[in-house]
A and B are shown apart, each in its own frame.
Chain A
C-alpha cells in the first residue's frame, strides 16, 4: 500500500506540473498569392482580412490583393491607388508579411552563355529563365531576388539546368548582379487587363527544384539591400486614420495611402514627378486631426465606402467642385476643410480654394506626400505596425484620366 501511495503521489506531482502558458510573442506570418488563392478556394470571402492583429485597423482584405476566384478558378490582381509626392499612382500587392522584423533577398540563378569566346553574354536558349532556390511555401520566401548569372557552356541544353544544386555543383562562373522583384504566382492569377492598367510587368516562367514555376517580373532596381546581410531595406507607407467618438481608430482602404521615400538608390524617377521607389514597405498609421475631412462627392461609391467604414463624420465636399477637381482630390484628406455644422469656415466652402496655392493660406492643405505629413501633422501619433508589404507601383494616374505605365530601368544584361 505504501508503494502504491508513493507512485500515486509521484504521478500527482507530475500532473500538477506547470501546464499554464505565458502570452506567446506574435508569430511571423507570410501571405503570398498562393495563400490568398488557397483562402479563396477554401471559401473565404473577399472581405476576409489577413494580418488583422498586426497594428493596422481592419488588416488587409483579400480583395485588395486579388479578386475572388472565378468559376474557372482564375483571379485578377487588384489595382489600388496611393499618393506619392502628390502624384496618384496605381500599385499591385503580391505579398504581405506580419511580424517580420526584416525580410531577405534570395538568389535567382540565370544561365547565360556566349556564342563565341569573348562574345556578348546571352540568355541560355534565348530566354531569361531564372532558377529559384526557395519556394513560396517557405517562411523565408522572398519576391526580392538577386540575379546571379551563371555562365554555362554554349552547348548546354536550354532546360538542362533546373535547380540551384545543379548550378552550385556545376562550378560555373557566377556573377551576382541586379536585384529584381519577381514574385512567384500560382496558375490562374492574372494581371489586370492592359486596358485598365498598361503596366510593364512581364509574366515569365522559371524553375524551382526541377519544376516549372510562373512569376511576374516587376523589373530591376525596385529595392535595395544591405550587402552584408542581404536584408531588404524598407520604406514607409502611411495609412491615415481617424479617431471616432468612442475612441476607436478608424481607417478605410478607400483613402489612398501615402508612400514614403525609398532608400537611396532604389526606384526610378518616372516623368511627372511621381516616384516608383522601394517595393518593400512597412505600414505606419498616422492619426489625422478631427477637423480634417476626406474629400468625397455626395452619392459616390467613395462616400458609401467611407460611411461603411464608420467615417461618415469625416467626409466633406466642396459644392460646385469641377470634375477635374473631383477626379484629383477624391479620397484625399484636407486639413482645413471647415465645418459648416459648427460654423467653421474652410477651404471646402469655395471650389476656388480646393486647389492648393502657396500664396493663399486659405486654400486646401492636402495630405498627399510624406513631406506634407511631416510638415502638418503631429507625428507623435504615428504607429509602426508589424505589417510589411510588397507593393509594386506600376502606373501613374493623371487627373485627366490618363494612365502612364512606369518605365522600366535599363536592363543590365
Chain B
C-alpha cells in the first residue's frame, strides 16, 4: 500500500513536467498503427522482477533523428500576395504547406500583415529548397521491476532558423508516469504530459512511426500533447475476437497542437476533458478498429472559462491483405473568448471558430523483403477541411498527398511525398504545393 501511495504522489506532485504515449511495445509497422494509446495488451502487465544478472535493465533509451529535404512553391506560405485582408491567417490555410511530421510549414511570413495567432510552427525556408534537421528525439523509459509503474520522457531538439535568427528549441513533448493498479486488468492511470486521446492520428505523430512525412489538414486539432491525467481501460471479448476500449483525459489544453493552444499551463483554471471509445475486431484475415472521440472544456488560448471548445470525431482503421486504410472525421467549435495567448505569442482576439474536416489514407506494403530492404510502401491520402472564423469568409481546402516509404534494416526509413494543396472556396488560390522528404534514423 505504501508503494502505491508513493507512486500516486509521484505521479501528481511531479506532474508539471511534460509528456505522451508510452512506447511499451516496439514501434508498430508504420502503416499498421497497432499501438493503441495505452497498448497494455502488448505488455505482460505487472510481473515479479527477474532476479540476478538476467534481469532486464529497467532503463531504456530510444530515439530517432529526422533529416528532411523540402521545397515549397511560392514563398512557402498560403498567403496570397495581393490579399490585404486582416488578419492574414484567417482567410487561408496557413498549415497547408507542411514539410515534416511535426506539421511545421515552410514559412509563416506574412510580410508585415497582421496575423492573429492561427499559425503553425515554421522552418523558415520560404520557397527555397532546403535540408532540414526536423527532429532529434531522445526517449527515456524507466520501468522498475519492483513496481507496476512506468516513467517515460520524450525530449526533442528542434533546430530552426526563423528568417531573423536562430529559433532552435528544446521541447519536452512527453513526460509522464503510468500506473497499472490492477494486475489482471488492462487498466492504466497516467499523469504528466502525454499524447492526445482524440482520434487516431496522434499515434503517427513521430517521424519514425508515421507512414508518410506530413500530418493531415485536421491534425492540428487532434494530435497535440498536454499536461493532465488520463485513464485507459480495455475489455477483451474473446468469443467475438473483439475488444472495447475507453481512453479519457483531463488536461490543460485538450488536443490542439501547441502552436494553437499552450499545453504547459492552464489559462482558465479549468481542465479540458477528452475521450475516445474504441472497438477492435482482430481476426486472422482482417483487423478493424473503430472509434468515436469527444472533447469539451474551455479553450486554452485565452482566459475565460465560459469560452468553450467542443469537438467530436469518428475514426476507422482497416487492415486486410497488405492494404491499410485510415480515415478520420473531425468537427470542432470554439466560442469567442478574451485576448489570445498561444505558444507563439499574444494576440488581441480569440474569435469564434468552426471546422469540419477529415482525411482518408490508403497504404500498401509490397509483399517482399530483399536484404537490407525490409519494406516498401506506397501511400496516398486525401484531406479536406472546411473552416471559418465568425464573420469571416468560410474557406474550403483540400489536399492530395502521394508518397513512397522504404524501410532499410530496422533502423533507417526513407520517405518522399508530394502535397498538392488546393483552395476550393473562400481562400484565394496560391502556389503552395510542397515536395518533402525525410530520412529517419532510429535507435
A interface residues, Cβ below 8 angstroms from B: 2-3, 5-7, 9-10, 13-14, 17-22, 24-28, 100-102, 104-107, 133-142, 146, 148, 163-165, 168-169, 174, 176, 209, 228-231
Determine how close the nearest CB of chain A comes to the CB of B210; give it in whole angstroms: 31
**Closest chain A residue to B250, Cβ basis:** A14
B391 touching A25 by the CB < 8 A rule?
A: no
Q: Is residue B133 within 8 Å, beta carbon to beta carbon, of the partner chain?
A: no
- 29 A–B pairs (Cβ distance < 8 Å), ordered by A: A6-B181, A10-B8, A10-B11, A10-B179, A10-B189, A10-B191, A14-B229, A17-B271, A19-B269, A22-B303, A24-B303, A25-B303, A27-B338, A28-B349, A106-B84, A106-B85, A107-B84, A134-B391, A139-B349, A139-B351, A142-B86, A164-B85, A164-B428, A165-B425, A168-B80, A169-B429, A209-B426, A228-B112, A229-B112
**Closest chain B residue to A7, Cβ basis:** B181
Determine how close the nearest CB of chain A comes to the CB of B227; give it in whole angstroms: 10
Q: Is residue B28 within 8 Å, beta carbon to beta carbon, of the partner chain?
A: no
Cα distance, A49 to B116, chains bound together (Å): 29
Q: Is residue B266 within 8 Å, beta carbon to beta carbon, of the partner chain?
A: yes
Cα distance, A163 to B429, chains bound together (Å): 13
Given A6-B189, A28-B348, A138-B90, 9 additional A-B pairs, CB 8 A:
A106-B86, A138-B392, A139-B349, A139-B351, A140-B86, A148-B84, A164-B85, A165-B425, A230-B113
Q: Given the known inter-chain contacts A5-B4, A22-B269, please indicate yes or no for A27 contacting B84, CB distance below 8 A.
A: no
Determine how close the nearest CB of chain B comes to the CB of A19; give it in whole angstroms: 5
Partner of A27, one of B7, B12, B91, B304: B304
A230 touching B86 by the CB < 8 A rule?
A: yes
A140 touching B349 by the CB < 8 A rule?
A: yes
Partner of A164, one of B83, B86, B348, B389: B83
B271 contact set on A, CB distance < 8 A: 17, 19
A17 touching B304 by the CB < 8 A rule?
A: no
**Closest chain B residue to A100, Cβ basis:** B348
Cα distance, A104 to B425, chains bound together (Å): 24
Q: Given the known inter-chain contacts A7-B181, A27-B338, please indicate yes or no for A21 contacting B429, CB distance below 8 A.
A: no
Determine how close the nearest CB of chain B comes to the CB of A196; give it in whole angstroms: 32
Interface residues as binary, B109-145 with A (CB distance below 8 Å gives 1, 0 otherwise): 0001110100000000000000000000000000000
**Closest chain A residue to B306, Cβ basis:** A24
Cα distance, A67 to B398, chains bound together (Å): 46
Size bracket, chain B contacts: 35 or more
B186 contact set on A, CB distance < 8 A: none
Determine how close the nearest CB of chain A comes to the CB of B306; give it in whole angstroms: 9
Q: Given the known inter-chain contacts A19-B269, A168-B80, please indicate yes or no for A137 contacting B391, CB distance below 8 A.
A: yes
A134 contact set on B, CB distance < 8 A: 85-86, 391-393
Main secondary structure of the interface of A (DSSP, over half): loop
**Closest chain B residue to A27, Cβ basis:** B338
Partner of A9, one of B8, B425, B429: B8
Partner of B12, one of A13, A169, A229, A231: A13
B303 contact set on A, CB distance < 8 A: 21-22, 24-25
**Closest chain A residue to B13, Cβ basis:** A13
B84 touching A165 by the CB < 8 A rule?
A: no
Within 8 A of A (CB), among B248-304: 250, 266, 268-271, 302-304
A27 contact set on B, CB distance < 8 A: 302, 304, 336-339
A133 contact set on B, CB distance < 8 A: 85, 91, 393
Cα distance, A136 to B84, chains bound together (Å): 17
Q: Given the known inter-chain contacts A27-B337, A107-B85, A137-B390, please indicate yes or no for A230 contacting B114, CB distance below 8 A.
A: yes
A137 contact set on B, CB distance < 8 A: 390-391
B425 contact set on A, CB distance < 8 A: 165
Partner of B338, one of A26, A106, A148, A169: A26
B54 contact set on A, CB distance < 8 A: none
Determine how close the nearest CB of chain B comes to the CB of A51; give it in whole angstroms: 15
Q: Is residue B65 within 8 Å, beta carbon to beta carbon, of the partner chain?
A: no
**Closest chain A residue to B11, Cβ basis:** A10
B12 contact set on A, CB distance < 8 A: 10, 13
**Closest chain B residue to A105, Cβ basis:** B86
B11 contact set on A, CB distance < 8 A: 10
**Closest chain A residue to B305, Cβ basis:** A21
Interchain residue pairs A-B with the least CB separation, the first 8: A138-B391, A137-B391, A24-B303, A168-B428, A21-B269, A27-B338, A133-B85, A6-B181
**Closest chain A residue to B423, Cβ basis:** A165
A17 touching B349 by the CB < 8 A rule?
A: no
B348 contact set on A, CB distance < 8 A: 28, 100-102
Cα distance, A3 to B269, chains bound together (Å): 30
B250 touching A17 by the CB < 8 A rule?
A: yes
Most buried by B among A10, A25, A26, A134: A10
Cα distance, A20 to B271, chains bound together (Å): 10
Determine how close the nearest CB of chain B comes to the CB of A154; give it in whole angstroms: 21
Determine how close the nearest CB of chain A comes to the CB of B425; give it in whole angstroms: 7
Cα distance, A102 to B182, chains bound together (Å): 57
Q: Is residue B370 within 8 Å, beta carbon to beta carbon, of the partner chain?
A: no
Cα distance, A21 to B270, chains bound together (Å): 8
**Closest chain A residue to B351, Cβ basis:** A139
A18 touching B266 by the CB < 8 A rule?
A: yes
